[in-house]
Structure 1
Amino acid sequence: MYEVTEKLADRAYRFIRQEMQEGSLVPGSQLVNRKLAAEIGVSVIPVREAIHRLVTEGLVEHVPGAGAFVRNPNREDLEELYVLRDALESCAAAEAARYITPHQLDDLDAMLEEFFEIRDLIRERSDGYATPAQFNRWLDLEEAFHETVIDASRNRLIAKVIREHRAVATVFESQRHSSKLLTVDLAEKTCDSKKQLLQALRDGNGPLARELMSAQIQRGCRDVLAFLRQERRS
């Protein structure tokens, strides 16, 4: 019985996560147990377990007397996560230059090709911004690219700390409803920097890989926080 409930809780968790990623559950949305249970086709018990897991991961906030709500990371949260990412992912990139496999390089190559394809699509748009669908795919690629570099480092402690704090996922998920963040200029810079990073990894140049990863993360922090400031003013 416990195993069945656990599997149903995983199913409920995946459903809620997908709803959050696709924008059906936006920051501030209340998670209503019975409504979610009916949509997923399970009882409320697995839904409660899934929500508890999301609370522990920092994606959902439980407000006493009110219920559970999709959490929106504030500026301080994002700044701290970017600092953590800069410290750990730059180190991971240096290690990855030593240990990355041909298969992982092929995966990064394929992602880079898709980055360039999305950049070209944005170039064709008259407003110079990505569509929401293009932006969401871009963020999926960003997360996958960084996760691949972390895995390639073979440093289990770095991977554990990053994943426990959901540093990569939270940063990118917090941007999913701000597609105007991705301009042609930003897409160009990102593609160029990722191309350089991939070459450093292929060449086994750890110091350069560290430097390039750090520069990417710091630029991302500046761009995202500046965009959020501007969004609040408008």
Structure 2
Amino acid sequence: MSKNQSDIAYEFLRQKLLNRELLPGTRVRYGPLGTEIGMSATPVREAIGRLASEGLVELVPQSGAIVKQPTRSDALEVFELREAIEPFAVAKASQLIGVRQLKTMQATIDAMQTILKQVTSGETTGTQNASPFDQADLRFHLTILESVDNRRMLKAVGDLHLLTEIIGIARHTYDADILEMTIEDHTLILDGLKLRDAEAASKAMVTHIRNSRQITLSQMSGTERPIFPLTN
């Protein structure tokens, strides 16, 4: 078995998590997944071990691997780490990001706007569009990290965002207000980057992360959403 097979299985499983094909509490079966990918269960088991070390799945005795059911403590830790890393990254990106990357970020906002219009018109629901909206959100944030050219930071933030999405599976209502707020937050971050204004981009990122954290915690506790946007 080559290391490459383990890497393929790892990326395949991460994508399934992002696509909401493996929901929190779902048992991950090595054999069927190996068959689906076209490999033995061994590289799948190794890939799941990597996901467990990243906090995305849990290895439960006699039950195997189960997609992690996030707790309030998990959510707090994830957002604390994101707030520690991403404002710094976007400030640095403001001096390094290129035109192509800015266009990529604008394209993700355009995709989100299309989804918002569909939800607002009643053509689709936010929940139906949760996966493409999440993927556009992830691409927006990872493009910032790619422009900084810090491989370890990119991996760390990518993992934090995947955890954010897994947490969100259990709590996001994806109504028009939440979609619109996310788009507005992203637009302010992008505006700061276009102006090469490190302070503006960093403040917009802090607000965005705190908005997302407040929605997450309020919906996890079953309480009403606070008033947005939050201030720094």
TM-score, normalised on structure 1? Answer: 0.85
Counterparts of residues 48-87 of structure 1 (less than 5 Å): 48-87=45-84
Q: Aligned partners of 1:92, 1:227: CA distance in 2, in Å?
A: 28
Q: Aligned partners of 1:209, 1:67: CA distance in 2, in Å?
A: 43
- RMSD over aligned CA atoms reads 2.2
Query: 2:105 pairs with 104, 108, 114, which one?
Result: 108
Q: Find out whether 1:37 has 2:34 as its counterpart.
A: yes
More helix by share: 1
Structure 1: gaps of 5 or more residues: none
The change in CA–CA distance for 1:187 and 1:52 in structure 2 (over 3 A counts) is same
Q: Contact 1:26–1:70 at 8 Å: present in 2 too? A: yes
**Identity, % of aligned pairs?**
29
Q: Aligned partners of 2:200, 2:13: CA distance in 1, in Å?
A: 39
| Alignment partner, residue 13 of structure 1 | 10
AA at the equivalent of 2:142: E
The change in CA–CA distance for 1:120 and 1:79 in structure 2 (over 3 A counts) is same
The change in CA–CA distance for 1:67 and 1:157 in structure 2 (over 3 A counts) is closer
Query: 2:139 pairs with 132, 135, 144, which one?
Result: 144
| Alignment partner, residue 206 of structure 1 | 198
The change in CA–CA distance for 1:103 and 1:49 in structure 2 (over 3 A counts) is same
| Alignment partner, residue 166 of structure 2 | 173
Aligned residues: 223
Structure (1 or 2) with the larger CA radius of gyration: 1
Question: Which secondary structure does the structure 2 equivalent of 1:68 belong to?
Answer: strand
Q: Aligned partners of 1:8, 1:154: CA distance in 2, in Å?
A: 26
TM-score, normalised on structure 2? Answer: 0.86
Deviations 1:56-113 (A, max 9, x none): 2221111123321111221111111101111210111111111111111111111111
